[in-house]
Structure 1
Amino acid sequence: MRHSDSPPDSASAPPPSPTQRSGRWRAPWPEEDRSFLDLLRWGLSRRPAPWPVKLPVAPCAPPPERVHGHSLRVTLVGHSTVLLQTGGANLLTDPVWSERTGPFGRGPRRVRAPGLELDALPSLDAVLVTHNHYDHLDLPTLAALARAHDPLFLVPPGDARLVRRAAPRARIRELHWWEQQELAGVRVHAAPARHWSARGLLDRRRSLWCSFVLEAACGPVVFFGDTGFGLGEPFGMIRERFGPARLALLPIGAYEPRWFMAPAHMDPDEAVRAVRILEAQHALALHHGVFQLTDEAHDDPASALDQALLRHGLKPGAFAAPDPGAAWTLD
C-alpha cells in the first residue's frame, strides 16, 4: 500500500547516494542552503517564545540488561537520545548528557534532565551518531561511554576523526548511506536524511549525515536525528528498501521560523506525513522540549503533533510524544 505522500517507485534503480564536490557532501536531490545573511536576518528578526528554566523529569527505572526475541524495549533519555534493546543487542542513539550543547561548553542549556542516568545504562554494543551538530554529537558524553562500555561507534563519513579527539581508543566505523554493520541479533544500516553538517564556520558539509535503520526480529526500526521533509525522499527510499517500519523515531521540534528551518527540520505535520510514508506501526517523537534551539515554545511541538494527527486521521497513540524518562516494551 502506498500513500499519496509517497514518492514514485524506483525499485529498479540503485538507491541514490550523496556525492562529494570539492570536499563537501551534496545530497542526491535539490537542496536549499541558508546563507550567513539568512542567519543574520533570523537573528535580527526572531522573537523566540519564552521557555522555562527547568522542567521536572520523572526518571525511569533501570532498564533490563538485555531484551531477546521479538521484543523491543525503548527508553527515551531525551532530545534525540534513545536506548533501544532488541535481539540481545543494546544500542544508543545520538547520546547527549551534557548540560549545554555548543562549542566551548556554551550554547543552549537543557531544561529537562536526562530521563536515565549515564551510569544506569546497561552494557552497550553500539552507539549510533547521525551527524556532527553539537546537540547530536556530544564529545564529553562519547568519551564517558567509551570508557565505561567500549561500544562500537557508528558514524557518518568524516566524523571518526572528531570522535577520536574525545576517545582515542574507541572502536569506530564510518557508514555511508546504505552500508551496514552486523551486530549480534541486529543489523544496522545507515540511510538517507535531509540535513547538513558543521561544527564551526568553515567546515559546512565536510562530513556526511544520515539516518539509521535497524533490522531485527522485532521488525524494522527507523531513527532520524534531524531531517527536513522536502518531497519525502528519505522516507520513501527507506520504506521501499526495508518495508513497513515497526517503529519510527522522528524529530518534531526546532522548526520555527519555517522560512529558515524548513530545509533541515520537519514540523509536526511533516513528521506525521513521514510516518504515513514509512507505514510505521508505532512512532515516537524526538527532538523537542529539552533544548531551546529555535523560536517555538517548549510545548508547541507536542500540541501541533496532536492537531496534525487529527488532520491526517490517525489516532493520537499512533505517534507518541512522551517526556524524557518514558519507557515501554513492544512485544
Structure 2
Amino acid sequence: MKLTKYTHACVRLEKDGRVLVLDPGTFSETAEALEGAHAVLITHEHADHIDVPAVAAALSGNGGLELFAPEGVAQNVRKEAPDAADRVHAVEPGTAFDAAGFAVRSFGGQHALIHPQIPVVANIGYLVDEDVYHPGDSFIIPDGISVRTLLVPVHAPWNKVSEVVDFVIGVRAERAYAIHDGLLNDTGLGLVEGHVKRIGARYGTEYTHLSARDSVEL
C-alpha cells in the first residue's frame, strides 16, 4: 500500500488500483489528492479536514466516488451534492465497513477539547486495512488492536507536545508520520518532531518526516 501525505491532515492511500483519501481539507491540495479517488473518509466537520465545496464537486463529477463521515458532516455534504446523496454514508464509532476495497474500522466519537466555550463536535478515527490509523483531531487510542502505521497530529489549538508524545507512546506503532502540521513553521515542526522521534524510539516507534507530496510504501 502506498501512502502519500499532503499538506496538514490529508493523506492518500493507494493499493491494487484503488484510491482512498482521508481528510482533504482547505489547507491541503484537495483537488490533487482527490484525483481518481474511489472513496473518502472524513474524521470531522472542521474546514481543515474537509473542503466541502471541493468534495461535493468531486462527488458530483465522479459517479464512483463514495464518502464516509460522521452524521453531521454527511448531512451537510448531501445538501451540497444532492445528486450524490446515496453515495454519502454516515459512520458511527465502533463499526467496520468496506471503502473501495479497503477494510476500515472506526474509533472514538468526540473531537478533543479546544476550550470549554467552544462546542465539541463529533470526530471519528479510522484504521485502514489493520495498518494505518488516522485519529482526526483526537488522541483516542484504538482498543484491542495493534497499529502498524500511526498518523500523529503534531500541533493544534487542542494539544501540547507532552500529549503528542504520550499518544505515540500509548499506541506503540511500528512507524509514525506527522499530520496536522499546517500551522507550524520549520522551526516549530523540527522541535516537536525531535521529541516524538527521540522518545518514541524508546518504545519501538520509528518516526519519519514526510513533507507534502512525499510517499512511502507500507
Q: Same fold, TM exceeding 0.5? A: yes
Task: Give the structure 2 partner of residue 212 of structure 1.
Answer: 126
Partners of 1:158 and 1:87 in 2: how far apart? 31
| SS of alignment partner, residue 276 of structure 1 | helix
Residue in 2 that maps onto 1:318: 206
Alignment partner of 1:177 is 2:93: yes
Q: What is the aligned partner in structure 1 of residue 168 from structure 2?
A: 275
Task: Please give the residue correspondences for 1:123-202 in structure 2 after superposition, counting only pairs within 5 Å.
Answer: 123-150=36-63, 151-170=65-84, 171-183=87-99, 185-192=101-108, 195=111
Q: Matched residues in 2 for 1:172 and 1:250: separation? A: 27
Q: Answer with 1 or 2: which has the greater Rg.
A: 1
Structure in which a larger fraction of residues adopt helix: 2
- Residues 174 and 309 of structure 1, relative CA distance in 2, 3 Å threshold: same
Evaluate the alpha carbon distance shift between residue 268 and residue 194 of structure 1 in structure 2; reply closer, same or farther with a 3 A threshold: farther
Aligned partner of residue 169 in structure 1, secondary structure: helix
Output the CA distance in 2 between the equivalents of 1:77 and 1:173: 24
Matched, 1:225 2:136: yes
Secondary structure of 1:178's partner? Answer: coil
> How many residues are paired up?
213
- Aligned pairs (5 A) from 1:1-331: 72-86=1-15, 89-96=18-25, 98=26, 114=29, 118-119=31-32, 121-150=34-63, 151-170=65-84, 171-183=87-99, 185-192=101-108, 195=111, 204-205=119-120, 208-214=122-128, 216=129, 219-227=130-138, 229=139, 234-235=140-141, 238=142, 240-241=143-144, 243-254=145-156, 261=157, 265-288=158-181, 290=182, 292=183, 297=185, 299-314=187-202, 318-330=206-218
Q: Which whole-Å CA distance do the structure 2 matches of 1:267 and 1:187 have between them?
A: 31
**How far is the alpha carbon of 1:196 from its aligned partner?**
5.6
Residues 253, 287 of structure 1: 8 Å contact kept:
yes
**Residues 3 and 13, structure 2, Cα contact 8 Å, conserved in 1:** yes
Per-residue displacement from partner, 1:127-146 (whole Å, max 9, x unpaired)? 11111111112112212321
Aligned equivalents of 1:90, 1:299: Cα separation in 2: 33
For residues 102-157 of structure 1, what are the alpha-carbon distances to aligned partners after superposition, in whole Å with 9 as ceiling and x for unaligned? xxxxxxxx5xx73xx72575532211111111111211221232133342111112
Tell me if the contact between 1:268 and 1:305 (Cα under 8 Å) persists in the aligned partners. no
- Partners of 1:94 and 1:328 lie apart in 2 by 18
Distance 1:167 1:284 in 2: 33
Q: TM-score, normalised by structure 1?
A: 0.56
Contact 1:269–1:305, Cα closer than 8 Å, also in 2 = no
Cα distance between partner residues in 1 of 2:18 and 2:176: 21
Whether contact under 8 Å (1:84, 1:92) holds in the other structure is: yes
Deviation at 1:314, TM superposition (A): 4.1
- Residues 225 and 250, structure 1, Cα contact 8 Å, conserved in 2: no
Runs of 4+ in structure 1 deviating by more than 6 angstroms, as ranges, are: none
Consecutive unaligned residues in structure 2, runs of 5 or more: none
The code of the aligned residue for 2:18 comes to: A
| Cα distance in structure 1, aligned partners of 2:16 and 2:99 | 9
One-letter code aligned to 1:276: I
Say which structure, 1 or 2, has more relative contact order (CA 8 Å, 6+ apart).
1
Aligned residues of 1:220 and 1:247 also touching (Cα < 8 A) = yes
TM-superposed deviation, 1:87: 5.7
Question: After the TM superposition, which of the residue ranges 303-312 and 170-179 deviates more from structure 2?
Answer: 303-312
Could you tell me which amino acid in structure 2 is paired with residue 251 of structure 1?
P
Q: So what's the TM-score if we normalise by structure 2?
A: 0.82
